[in-house]
Amino acid sequence: MKTSIATVSLSGTLGEKLEAIAAAKFDAVEIFENDLVTFNGTPADVRSTCQDLGLDIVTLQPFRDFEGMPDGPRARAFARAERKFDVMQELGCDLLMICSNVSPESLGGIDRAAADLHELGERAAKRGLRIAFEALAWGRHINDYRDSWEAVRRADHPAVGLVLDTFHILARKTDLGAIRAIPKDRIFLVQVADAPMLQMDYLSWSRHYRNFPGQGDLPLVDFMQALSVTGYDGPLSLEIFNDQFRAGSARSVAVDGHRSLRFLQDQLESNLPPRSTVGGTAFVEFALDDTAAQGFERMLAGMGFRRAGLHKSKAVTRWQQGDINLVVNREKEGFAHSFNIVHGSAVCALGLKVNDAAATFERATLLLDQPFHQPVAPGELDIPAVRGVGGSLVYFLDDAGPLARVWEIEFDDTGAPDDGAGLTRVDHIAQSMQYEEMLSWVLFYTSLLDLKKVPPQDVPDPGGLVVSQVIEAADGALRLVLNASQSHRTQSSRFLAEAFGSGVQHLALATDDMMRTVARLEQNGVKLLEIPENYYDDLEAKTGLQPERIAELKAHNILYDREGETEYLQVYLRPFEQFFFEIVQRRDYRGYGAANAPVRLAAQARLASTQRD
């Protein structure tokens, strides 16, 4: 299917939009009339720009309030249409998209609509043009694709076809069965859009909250399955009205759009290497300068990590405990160094265990993710990687071949034994980002890897609300928490300001025995975030835990949550610059302690303000 996007989906001038659409490798574009009206040039200029960029023009849209008008307005509607036909001929576009009438003047009646469509189809055909009819979810008389199809069917004209728009169909939860019976040559255009589930009127929902397939909650795959029964092979076009997209970078939004279409098609046809199951976090790499590295490594030692390896040729150290590998990179050149210059002490890369690293990298490339390469010294592995959040890297490792032996191949074992503090694995990785970026990274992770998003939550921070979006593997082998806020005063926003961009703000490590772990940390002089007494009074009232248990939690600043019979224990370390560690113990618990997040955020805000004073 030909991939296309409507110019209304992007920010910028028409020229900028077209450049971005071509750069994102779309085949075609829908020209939104407003973009043409505000364009500083003629439709013929747009035509030649599109030709130069290799973009077909799928349609000119929208043409409103056409069908079913009483006599006077009806004549005017036909005259308006003729003027659009003039523009289309200059544009070199043969399809006019008509939305169902919303005018209070319109009269309704399928036969009346069909007669109008027939007559306009006749006029269009004389010029070698076509028209396509869409049922808006809020159309006055026609708001269901089954009715728009019936009008098109009765119009019975080869120049009159149907537009199917997933938003209008799925927002109303219209049954998809009837799509299967529509002949494919009667469908002139398919527009795809997703949206989050919201309780609001169709018009506002559609005009502000649409997003790319896979970013929302609508059953796009069910729609595509019904469509595939028809054999439809015409344009598949994104028509996304979204306030964030229209404020964002046209280039990156366009790439996200094309990625979403490739992912959608892959879910139907499996034409890409499959989404990899994630087996866990192979390593987390920190970019630090020498001074910061000293303090950071002292903290790691206090947390029970042992220095397990020194890189054979680089200033890179491996710290290990249980299945956790933390890599401290102090190089003075290369990627980590540049990252450190821009972001300060920060996580510069995540290594993920996948079933097949090469296939995952290939899938990433086909999804238009950004591959990363840097020169590899003799004896080093070329680990496949793509760009992730904030320009950091995501490496892919698997159990086959040399990638499985990365520590042996690249590192000298320093083997100093330590019985550790009982930390076992990376539990979750929290990344802070701009609010506008969140949908983009949701799509990045879920299109590439076998991960699911759970419904987002609002978490109150003393400085404003933070939206928290979890993306996780079904078995919990990888858990990501994406945080963003529209307030500048929240901790997640301050992180962005102070760390100069998006990135990993905290890393949660798992223990099977929280009491043993905190005892060891305290013994080693590691300071935990202090939790106010009120929290424990409230906890006692809320949970009915035994006073001795409460006292124990309170003595070690442990936060507690419970869902049914499952339990969750959490402690936070004092931050290291902008970054901090969390330690958690899960007893069959599936969440992230959302109920405790405001307490933790307030405690961190208090600590930050005392440190500032």
Which residues on adjacent β-strands are paired with residue 60? Answer: 31, 96
Residue closer to Mg ion, measured from CB, 282 or 508: 508
- Overall residue count recorded for the chain in this entry: 613
Shortest distance in whole angstroms from residue 506 CB to Mg ion:
6
Q: What is the 3-state secondary structure (H, E, C) of 313-333?
A: CCCEEEEEECCEEEEEECCCC
Token code pair at residue 218: 């609508």
Long-range contacts of 77-80 (CB under 8 A, 24+ apart): 77/116, 78/119, 78/120, 78/123
Residue closer to Mg ion, measured from CB, 191 or 211: 191
Shortest distance in whole angstroms from residue 566 CB to Mg ion:
16
Shortest distance in whole angstroms from residue 137 CB to Mg ion:
10
Residue closer to Mg ion, measured from CB, 64 or 127: 64
Q: E strands along 314-438, which residues?
A: 316-321, 324-329, 346-354, 371-372, 385-387, 393-397, 411-413, 423-434
Candidates 298-306, 488-496, 534-542, 574-582: pick the segment binding Mg ion (CB under 5 A). Answer: 574-582
Candidates 67-75, 452-460, 500-508, 522-530: pick the segment binding Mg ion (CB under 5 A). Answer: 500-508
Residue closer to Mg ion, measured from CB, 145 or 283: 145
Contact status: 165 vs Mg ion (CB under 5 A): yes
Cis peptide before 158 (omega within 30 of 0): no
**For residue 498, what are the contacts with CB-CB under 8 A and spacing of at least 6?**
344, 577, 578
- State how far the Cα of 360 lies from the Cα of 275, in Å rounded to an integer: 7
Shortest distance in whole angstroms from residue 428 CB to Mg ion:
6
Residue closer to Mg ion, measured from CB, 385 or 526: 526
322, 423 Cβ separation under 8 angstroms: yes
Contact status: 191 vs Mg ion (CB under 5 A): yes
223, 264 Cβ separation under 8 angstroms: no
- Phi–psi pair at 513, nearest 5 degrees: -150, 90
Candidates 165-173, 182-190, 279-287, 304-312: pick the segment binding Mg ion (CB under 5 A). Answer: 165-173
Sole binder of Mg ion in the list 27, 30, 67, 239 (CB under 5 A): 239
Residue closer to Mg ion, measured from CB, 144 or 582: 582
Residue nearest to Mg ion (CB): 165
Which residues on adjacent β-strands are paired with residue 482? Answer: 431, 469
Candidates 49-57, 66-74, 226-234, 238-246: pick the segment binding Mg ion (CB under 5 A). Answer: 238-246
Say how many C-beta atoms besides its own lie within 10 A of residue 369's C-beta: 19
Shortest distance in whole angstroms from residue 61 CB to Mg ion:
7
Residue closer to Mg ion, measured from CB, 226 or 364: 226
Residue closer to Mg ion, measured from CB, 189 or 316: 189
Shortest distance in whole angstroms from residue 481 CB to Mg ion:
6
**For residue 39, what are the contacts with CB-CB under 8 A and spacing of at least 6?**
13, 14, 15, 45, 46
Nearest residue to 283 (alpha-carbon basis) of 397, 451, 431: 397
Contact status: 143 vs Mg ion (CB under 5 A): no
Candidates 81-89, 295-303, 308-316, 508-516: pick the segment binding Mg ion (CB under 5 A). Answer: 508-516
Contacts with Mg ion: how many residues (CB under 5 A)? 5
139, 100 Cβ separation under 8 angstroms: yes
Contact status: 30 vs Mg ion (CB under 5 A): no
Please list every residue from 576 through 605 that binds Mg ion, using CB under 5 A.
582
Residue closer to Mg ion, measured from CB, 272 or 583: 583
End-to-end CA separation in angstroms for the chain: 61
Residue closer to Mg ion, measured from CB, 364 or 569: 569
Residue closer to Mg ion, measured from CB, 398 or 582: 582
- State how far the Cα of 560 lies from the Cα of 492, in Å rounded to an integer: 22
Give 10's DSSP letter: S
Shortest distance in whole angstroms from residue 557 CB to Mg ion:
15
Residue the block writes with tokens 């529209």 = 486
Max distance between CA atoms of the chain, in angstroms, equals 90
Shortest distance in whole angstroms from residue 519 CB to Mg ion:
22
Sole binder of Mg ion in the list 508, 599, 601, 603 (CB under 5 A): 508
- Chain contacts with Mg ion (rule: CB under 5 A): 165, 191, 239, 508, 582
